[in-house]
Amino acid sequence: MARQYTNIIISAASLFIGCLLYVLFREDTYIGNIFSHLPFITALRIWVSPISCNFVKFYFGDFLWGLSLGFGLQVFFTSRTAEILLCGCVTFLCGLIWEYLQFCGIISGTGDFWDIVSYFCAGTICIIFNLRRENQ
């Protein structure tokens, strides 16, 4: 049961921080636009601007969202190795499909190779973390 709570906390924290990165660094996105009218958001954007770089702006948020998906899926499955691997693979495949749809112009976005790498890393970390916890 402790494994489930850990997965829930990591999933929720990753989702929250990923959304926060989009709000603070990607004001041209849907999420960024939703929060742009709040007066303190502009002040926060100015305050965090020194750490703005392509990694933080474009890739780390997607990595965190992939991490959130992977750990969130783990909550609903047992700790069997096959299911842990499946959750990590589904995380990567969802990211891959998302980027492919962007690449084809079906949804807005760039379809970036490094975003795919971010989703792969997120799925891999989810697998490694949960396999290690299963073997303890």
Q: Tell me: the pLDDT tens digits for 24-73?
A: 887 777 777 777 778 888 778 878 888 888 888 889 999 999 999 999 99
Residue 74 near residue 68 (C-beta atoms within 8 A)? no
Q: What is the pTM of this model?
A: 0.86
Residue 58 near residue 22 (C-beta atoms within 8 A)? no
